[in-house]
């Protein structure tokens, strides 16, 4: 700091010589002239001289006598200047004294100070006024004036120091070296700030300046070895600037010749604050990433077990509710997490860019929270989604199949149970013992017809058992009741078979004793029974439930039904033929007067039953027609849904692919500035956002398809899952591309790279990126460097330089150089950044050139938050020259540019 030449003071710092302006100007013109008041200034000047001479182990008693031989005068100049003067002459003669005083005056003159009217003879002769003038000149030159560093005056630096140290104290407002010191509080505050045990500041009163000043001066003299060069009334003494400077020296331990360090310290502090701010911001970003990553991973870990759970339901509505829950998850819960995942990747890339720009190492998240870990977790989530959806649809098909089989089982079982009703009683009847031969023969034929009927029902019993078995295999919830009913039918069937065999044996024993049977009735019975069974089977088929999924399947059922209808004319002819047999028997009986029994003795199938069942078949045919037509209409509707979804999917899918390709071209081409590219990409992003209703419409159509239980679609190769993945990739790609351009802007602005340089780098990179893959191989990268003027030709020196550069741009040895790594390298080559060495030098300035720094020094020179940040993180200083509480700022500075977990 360069001195201003004079320091104005108020009552506290008034000079015994008069006002500074008047006294100093007189001294500049004629240093030999001193104002009145000599006797009052002698003690003050004597105290000031002794405060320095004591450092050399001596002092003076009488200022106008003890400097006459020049020895103590030379010693005083050596102490306050820190320089060596010529060796003094030790003789006692006047000439020796004059020579010594001249050496002192010559040294003063060598510092650019003109001594007007002051000569060695006046000092040797004990001229008090000239001696005091000389001492005043020394005070001006070495205590106040001409101490300069970085072109800031010592007065200004000292005043700034006083303001900063007294800022927290009430009733203290240091604005200058005038009235700010009158009440003495500023002096007390300076001492209390550094030595709080010496001053009880809270007990001082602003309205008692005399007490305050006496307290400060006495404490300074007693504990800080500062001579009492001012009195409480401020009538005489050294100026406030000098008093505060002495306090500064005593409290900070910095020599007076280094008082000008203030500006240098401010610069160092500012550099440290800037570096710490970057580190704190990066740490906050790291904490935010860790928190967001933990939350997202926790959500994935909570969701996957739900998706992997398999809790089958007993009914279709219950399973459809599970499907609706899954759709709600996809529609409501997952999309925000997709955005969080994308934002997390963007934040990670931005953080890594900031770390590279500030010369910090790359951020390594906690174990299990890497971007790759999140990607792997997300992949597991999507696999679980796919498996869950497939399971839901499979379960729905299974339940639908079960409902169909259960209803079919009930229908067939009811028909069979109806048929068997009374059969066991009839088979147990022993009517053949009292029957006539005709009656026995009739019973036997009737039994043969029953056996035929029984055999015809064998297929139905097997079908009932097969359906029950399938229901068991498909884990039907009501299988116990089905099994019980099936078992009852099978047991009854076995019993009927056994009874049938027993009754036949009984009838055959009697048959030999009976006459011929009415063949006509027998023929009727034989033909009526199969026809009756055919009609029952036809009615069963006409009422059979069906389930189809395609138009082709329903068309197959319709064709089969049409085929059945084509057989009806022949069946009708068979019915009429059977009825004619009965009519012929009745005609013959009537002709011969034979009294026939009321019913055909060989069969229970009467013409009335045949006609009734035939009428029932005729009624069921149109009903079957209607059911098949309704199902065909439903399948046509399903086909419409397939075509509707396929048409929309065939538009959305290519649109997504086209946008992906266009974004890829934008990231390769260079059109305009980075801001132009960013705006262009954001327009694309807006266009993509505006296209989202098309995807939502497709989701709605897909939901209709699923609700209709449509499981395939030949009208499009795109599935909803494929399009969802493509849409998410599109959103992620545009967001990542925008982030890459933003990071390039951040790199350009932070490193001071011009737009032209950035375009030149981009053009060079793209020129050698032949496959537009976004990365260069070693030979491509070498050619790119050569195009930019780097000497990396194939010689020993060029190869060494190229290997050095490759180690920087490809530290992992992957064999490729990305554009971001290329830009980072070029920005480091063309710009200057803070380094660990610069930060170490800045701390060294604040530490007063020591190898360590103290907590008090950090709190004094840095803002509170950043001082505490350093104190909490600095390791204890291990060197032998340290003191208790010493902190190692070198390892701390190195760590700022080393490990990122500082």
Instruction: Decide if pLDDT at 647 tops 50.
Output: yes
Contact call for residues 347 and 289 (beta carbons, < 8 A): yes
Structure tokens at 758: 């950035």
Residue 868 pLDDT grade (very low, low, confident, very high; cuts 50, 70, 90)? very high
Return the half-sphere exposure (C-beta side, CA atoms, 13 A cut-off) of residue 168. Answer: 12
Buried-exposed string 124-151: b where 16+ CB fall within 10 A, e elsewhere: beebbebbbbbbbbbbbbbbbbbbbbee
More confident residue, 1 or 570: 570
Distance CA 100, CA 818 (A): 75
Query: Backbone dihedral region of 815: left (phi > 0), alpha (psi from -120 to 50 degrees) or beta?
Result: left
pLDDT tens for 15-38 read 222 222 223 333 333 333 344 445
- Tell me the chain's radius of gyration from C-alpha atoms: 56
Residue 8 pLDDT grade (very low, low, confident, very high; cuts 50, 70, 90)? very low
Most confident of 44-48, 406-410, 441-445: 406-410
More confident residue, 570 or 167: 570
Please return the burial class of 74, using the count of CB atoms within 10 Å of its CB with bins 0-12, 13-18 and 19+: buried
> Which stretch of 280-294, 301-315, 329-343, 581-595 has the lowest confidence by average pLDDT?
581-595
More confident residue, 14 or 196: 196
State the pLDDT at residue 150.
33
More confident residue, 518 or 692: 692
Mean pLDDT score, 81-98: 87
Mean pLDDT score, 394-423: 85
* CA nearest neighbour of 124 among 142, 152, 103, 146: 103
Instruction: Decide if pLDDT at 243 tops 80.
Output: no
* CA nearest neighbour of 239 among 21, 23, 47, 14: 14
Residue 162 pLDDT grade (very low, low, confident, very high; cuts 50, 70, 90)? confident
Return the half-sphere exposure (C-beta side, CA atoms, 13 A cut-off) of residue 115. Answer: 25
State the pLDDT at residue 151.
35
Distance CA 884, CA 478 (A): 84
Beta pairing partners, 776: 817
* CA nearest neighbour of 96 among 124, 75, 135, 62: 124
Distance CA 740, CA 774 (A): 12
More confident residue, 846 or 831: 846
Whole-Å CA distances, 787 to 214, 744, 771, 793? 76, 21, 19, 11
Distance CA 579, CA 395 (A): 52
Whole-Å CA distances, 380 to 86, 252, 387, 394, 752? 87, 63, 10, 21, 43
What pTM, to 2 d.p., does this model score?
A: 0.46
Mean pLDDT score, 189-195: 85
Residue 235 pLDDT grade (very low, low, confident, very high; cuts 50, 70, 90)? very low
Cβ neighbours for 498, distance < 8 A, ≥ 6 positions apart: none
Which uninterrupted H or E stretch holds 876?
strand 875-876
The torsion of the CA quartet 532, 538, 544, 546, rounded to 10 degrees, works out to 160
Provide the percentage of residues in the chain whose pLDDT is more than 90: 20
Residue 1 pLDDT grade (very low, low, confident, very high; cuts 50, 70, 90)? very low
**Summary mean pLDDT of the chain:** 80
pLDDT tens for 757-812 read 777 777 787 788 777 777 889 888 888 888 777 777 767 777 888 888 888 888 88
Cβ neighbours for 329, distance < 8 A, ≥ 6 positions apart: 303
Residue with tokens 């034929």: 445
Structure tokens at 606: 């009467």
Instruction: Decide if pLDDT at 383 tops 90.
Output: yes
Structure tokens at 207: 């309205």
Instruction: Decide if pLDDT at 615 tops 90.
Output: yes
Mean pLDDT score, 604-623: 91
State the pLDDT at residue 30.
34
Structure tokens at 235: 């009538």
Instruction: Decide if pLDDT at 207 tops 70.
Output: yes
DSSP codes of every residue in 285-347: HHHHHHHHHHHHHHHHHHHHHHHH-----SSHHHHHHHHHHHHHIIIIIHHHHHHHHHHHHHH
Mean pLDDT score, 296-303: 93
* CA nearest neighbour of 870 among 880, 884, 860, 882: 860
Return the half-sphere exposure (C-beta side, CA atoms, 13 A cut-off) of residue 854. Answer: 11
Distance CA 80, CA 817 (A): 62
Instruction: Decide if pLDDT at 283 tops 80.
Output: yes
Distance CA 80, CA 53 (A): 9
Residue with tokens 């009440």: 183
Mean pLDDT score, 571-578: 93
> Which stretch of 542-546, 588-592, 689-693 has the lowest confidence by average pLDDT?
588-592
pLDDT tens for 848-863 read 889 999 999 999 888 8
Structure tokens at 283: 């740490």
* CA nearest neighbour of 269 among 848, 846, 896: 846
State the pLDDT at residue 157.
59
> Which stretch of 251-255, 619-623, 801-805 has the lowest confidence by average pLDDT?
251-255
Contact call for residues 762 and 745 (beta carbons, < 8 A): no
Helix/strand/coil (H/E/C) assignment for every residue in 209-232: HHHHHHHHHHHHHHHCCCCCCECC
> Which stretch of 227-241, 291-305, 641-655, 879-893 has the lowest confidence by average pLDDT?
227-241
Q: What are the φ/ψ torsions at residue 18 (nearest 5 degrees)?
A: 115, -170
More confident residue, 728 or 510: 728
More confident residue, 154 or 584: 584
Sign of CA dihedral 112, 113, 116, 121: negative
Which uninterrupted H or E stretch holds 887?
strand 887-888
Query: Backbone dihedral region of 464: left (phi > 0), alpha (psi from -120 to 50 degrees) or beta?
Result: alpha
Residue with tokens 């538009």: 651
Which uninterrupted H or E stretch holds 888?
strand 887-888
More confident residue, 750 or 21: 750
């Amino acid at each position: 700091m360069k001195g201003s030449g004079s320091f104005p003071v108020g009552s506290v710092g008034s000079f015994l010589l008069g006002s500074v302006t008047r006294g100093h100007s007189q001294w500049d013109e004629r240093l030999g002239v001193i104002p009145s008041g000599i006797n009052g200034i002698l003690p003050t000047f004597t105290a000031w001289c002794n405060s320095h001479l004591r450092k050399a182990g001596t002092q003076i008693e009488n200022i106008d006598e003890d400097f006459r031989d020049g020895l103590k005068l030379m010693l005083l100049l050596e102490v306050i200047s820190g320089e060596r003067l010529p060796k003094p002459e030790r003789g006692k003669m006047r000439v020796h004294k004059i020579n010594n005083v001249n050496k002192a005056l010559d040294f003063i003159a060598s510092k650019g100070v003109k001594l007007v009217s002051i000569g060695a003879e006046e000092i040797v002769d004990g001229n008090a006024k000239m001696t005091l003038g000389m001492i005043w000149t020394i005070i001006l030159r070495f205590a106040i004036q001409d101490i300069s560093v970085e072109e800031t005056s010592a007065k200004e630096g000292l005043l700034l120091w006083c303001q900063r140290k007294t800022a927290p104290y009430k009733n203290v407002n240091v604005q200058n070296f005038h009235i700010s010191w009158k009440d003495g509080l500023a002096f007390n505050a300076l001492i209390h700030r550094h030595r709080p045990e010496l001053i009880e500041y809270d007990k001082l009163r602003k309205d008692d300046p005399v007490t305050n000043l006496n307290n400060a001066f006495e404490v300074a003299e007693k504990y800080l070895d500062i001579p009492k060069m001012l009195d409480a009334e401020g009538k005489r003494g050294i100026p406030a600037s000098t008093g505060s400077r002495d306090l500064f020296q005593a409290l900070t331990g910095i020599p007076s010749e280094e008082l000008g360090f203030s500006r240098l310290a401010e610069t160092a502090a500012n550099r440290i604050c800037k570096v710490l701010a970057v580190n704190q911001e990066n740490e906050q970003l790291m904490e935010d990433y860790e928190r967001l990553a933990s939350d997202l991973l926790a959500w994935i870990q909570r969701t996957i077990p739900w998706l992997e759970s398999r809790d089958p339901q007993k009914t279709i509505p219950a399973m459809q509710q599970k499907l609706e829950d899954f759709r709600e998850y996809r529609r409501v819960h997952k999309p925000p997490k997709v955005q969080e995942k994308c934002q997390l990747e963007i934040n990670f890339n931005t953080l890594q860019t900031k770390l590279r720009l500030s010369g910090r190492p790359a951020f390594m998240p906690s174990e299990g929270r890497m971007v790759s870990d999140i990607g792997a977790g997300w992949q597991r989530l999507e696999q679980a989604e796919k498996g869950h959806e497939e399971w839901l649809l499979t379960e729905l098909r299974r339940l639908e199949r079960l409902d169909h089989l259960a209803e079919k089982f009930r229908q067939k079982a009811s028909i069979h149970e109806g048929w068997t009703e009374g059969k066991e009683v009839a088979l147990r009847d022993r009517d053949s013992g009292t029957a006539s031969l005709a009656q026995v023969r009739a019973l036997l034929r009737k039994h043969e017809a029953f056996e035929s009927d029984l055999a015809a029902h064998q297929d139905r019993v097997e079908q009932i058992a097969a359906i029950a078995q399938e229901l068991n295999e498909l884990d039907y919830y009501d299988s116990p009741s089905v099994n019980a009913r099936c078992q009852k039918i099978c047991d009854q069937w076995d019993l009927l078979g056994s009874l049938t065999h027993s009754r036949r044996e009984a009838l055959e024993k009697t048959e030999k004793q009976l006459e011929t049977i009415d063949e006509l009735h027998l023929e009727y019975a034989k033909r009526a029974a199969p026809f009756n069974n055919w009609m029952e089977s036809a009615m069963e088929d006409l009422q059979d439930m069906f389930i189809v999924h395609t138009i082709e399947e329903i068309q197959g059922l319709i064709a089969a039904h049409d085929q059945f209808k084509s057989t009806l004319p022949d069946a009708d002819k068979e019915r009429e033929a059977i009825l004619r047999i009965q009519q012929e028997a009745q005609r013959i009986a009537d002709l011969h007067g034979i009294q026939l029994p009321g019913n055909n003795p060989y069969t229970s199938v009467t013409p009335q039953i045949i006609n009734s069942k035939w009428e029932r078949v005729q009624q069921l045919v149109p009903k079957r027609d209607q059911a098949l037509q309704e199902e065909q209409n439903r399948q046509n509707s399903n086909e419409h849904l397939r075509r509707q979804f396929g048409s929309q999917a065939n538009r959305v899918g290519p649109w997504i692919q086209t946008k992906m390709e266009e974004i890829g071209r934008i990231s390769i081409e260079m059109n305009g500035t980075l801001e132009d590219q960013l705006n262009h990409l954001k327009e694309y992003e807006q266009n993509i956002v505006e296209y989202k209703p098309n995807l939502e419409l497709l989701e709605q159509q897909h939901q209709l398809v699923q609700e209709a239980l449509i499981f395939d679609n030949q009208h499009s190769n795109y599935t909803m899952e494929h399009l969802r993945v493509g849409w998410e990739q599109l959103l992620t790609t545009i967001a990542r591309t925008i982030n890459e351009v933003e990071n390039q802007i951040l790199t350009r602005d932070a490193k001071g790279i011009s737009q032209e340089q950035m375009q030149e780098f981009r053009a060079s990179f793209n020129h050698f990126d032949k496959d537009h893959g976004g990365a260069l191989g070693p030979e491509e990268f070498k050619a790119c460097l050569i195009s930019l003027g780097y000497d990396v030709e194939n010689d020993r020196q060029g190869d060494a330089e190229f290997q050095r550069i490759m180690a920087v741009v490809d530290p992992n040895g992957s064999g490729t150089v990305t554009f971001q790594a290329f830009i980072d390298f070029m920005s480091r080559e063309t710009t200057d950044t803070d380094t660990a060495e610069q930060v170490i030098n800045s701390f060294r300035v604040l530490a007063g050139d020591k190898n360590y720094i103290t907590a008090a020094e950090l709190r004094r020179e840095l803002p509170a938050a950043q001082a505490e940040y350093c104190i909490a993180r600095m390791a204890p200083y291990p060197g032998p020259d340290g003191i208790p509480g010493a902190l190692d700022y070198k390892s701390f500075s190195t760590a700022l540019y080393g490990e990122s977990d500082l």
